[in-house]
Amino acid sequence: TSDELMELYKYKPLLKGERVVQLMYLFSCFTGLRYSDALRLKWNQCHEKYFDFVTKKTNDLLKIELNNFACKILEICRKEFNPINMP
């Protein structure tokens, strides 16, 4: 339910691995991405309010708008995980 999803969104796991799983699951829920497509998403495909990519299953180019929750998750990932190749 949406209430359960928001409860998970507010939860702060102690372990980094749990945080990664939580954020990936929430991002998939808020964007409608399959797990396999979310794993393949690159930072240069993410724009301010949308991202575009080619799906693995159908090989179609999609442009998906980001809601506020998905944008916040991307911000969290940039701050908490700070990979070297991230803009």
Give residue for tokens 């699951």.
25
pLDDT digits (tens, 9 = 90+) for 6-39: 999 999 998 988 999 999 999 999 999 888 888 8
CA distance linking residue 23 with residue 29, whole number of Å: 10
Overall pTM surpassing 0.85 (yes/no) = no
Nearest-angstrom CA–CA distance, 78 and 67? 17
